[in-house]
Structure 1
């Protein structure tokens, strides 16, 4: 059988087979999702954290410098995600995706985003500028954005045996990814209205006597051809 025939048979098998779907109560792993037609439906919060202007970083700096900046950002971000109960499921260059499940998933993800903002502004950026002189001399600013949405998604394994990974299909992962692409002043966190409504008070308001609302909105924004309601924040929270 030639390669074209092999691909034809494989694609036909995929599109003609019924999904073997089950409800998931924990974040799936590649070990518990069947490669063939396995699928897990989850009710979860998706968080995407994206380093801004990685194109300029790769263009204007050496590969070793750019790699250090990206690695520093991902290292710090992933540590916060794991500490806040998130499960990291994919990387795409300078972007990381995490899934939160459980009763407090919306609050956990929102708090995680505020803490990511703290470590990026108060740790990553100062350490990068202090130790990589070209970053500061060329005026490159370490910035990022986090997008969060909640909803049901279908998790399957994409690829072939020996070379595959989990893929999440649904509105929530798609919207969260697009929100993380926003670049707007000092705002670093964007959540959908569905997420905002379920955030606990201690993550909506600042600590102290004044109890200031840390989020602005509602605003409407077109995402993927759909007009959605979002909230944004420029606040940070120390982990």
Structure 2
């Protein structure tokens, strides 16, 4: 079988079987979902943490230095997401995705986001300056969070596949993490409306500002922003 026939057969194998969907109560691992037609529906909150200006970093510094910087961001973000009850299921360059479930999933995700902001400003940037006195690039980042129903499936082929999250929440969270020039953390109104008092107010002051709305496809998403950080 040539590559042409292999591709045609592969697409047929994807499109023909009906999905076998189950409702999930835990974040599945890759092996928990059937590759051919398995799917898990999950009520979850998605967090995307995205390091800013990786292009400027890559263009201005040696690859070995840029790799240390990116790994620093992913290392701190991953530790925080896991410590706050999140499940990491995807890395994409300088970005990591966390999935939170349960009754406190929105507040847990926001705590993680504020911890990541603390780590960037109070740990990573000072450590970079201490290691390389001539290092002029300063790390910034953005976190996006949204909540809703997602369908988790496996994408790829046998031996080369991973979990893919389909739905508004993972898509909107990723888009909100890309917003620059405003607040460090951007969350959908659905997340904001479900926060507990400790993740909404600091000494009686609301940590969040209504930023406006973004339109993604046919959906308008109202969102709130904050640049507060939180020491773990």
- TM-score exceeds 0.5: yes
Per-residue Cα deviation, 1:193-238 (whole angstroms, up to 9, x for no partner) = 00000010111011xxx42111111522233453210000010110
Residue from 200, 205, 226 that aligns with 1:204: 200
Cα offset for 1:26? 0.4
Q: Alignment partner for residue 147 of structure 1, among 140, 144, 169? A: 144
Aligned twin of 1:228 = 221
What's the counterpart of residue 10 of structure 2? 10
The runs of 4+ residues in structure 1 deviating greater than 4 Å are none
Q: What is aligned with 1:59?
A: 59
- 1:34-85, Cα deviation, whole Å (9 max, x unpaired): 1111100101000000000001100110001100100111111111101100
RMSD: 1.1
- Normalising by the residue count of structure 1, what TM-score does the alignment of the two structures yield? 0.94
Q: TM-score, normalised by structure 2?
A: 0.97
Distance 2:163 2:224 in 1: 29
Task: Give the length in aligned residue pairs.
Answer: 232
1:122-174 deviation line (CA, Å, top 9, x unaligned): 101111121123423xxx12100000000001100001111100000101000
| C-alpha contact 2:50 2:96 (8 A) present in aligned 1 | yes
- The residue aligned with 1:164 is 161
User: What is the DSSP-based 3-state SS (H/G/I as helix, E as strand, rest coil) of the residue aligned with 2:6?
Assistant: helix
Q: Is the 8 A contact 1:193 1:218 kept in 2?
A: no
Q: Identify unmatched segments of 5+ residues in structure 2.
A: none
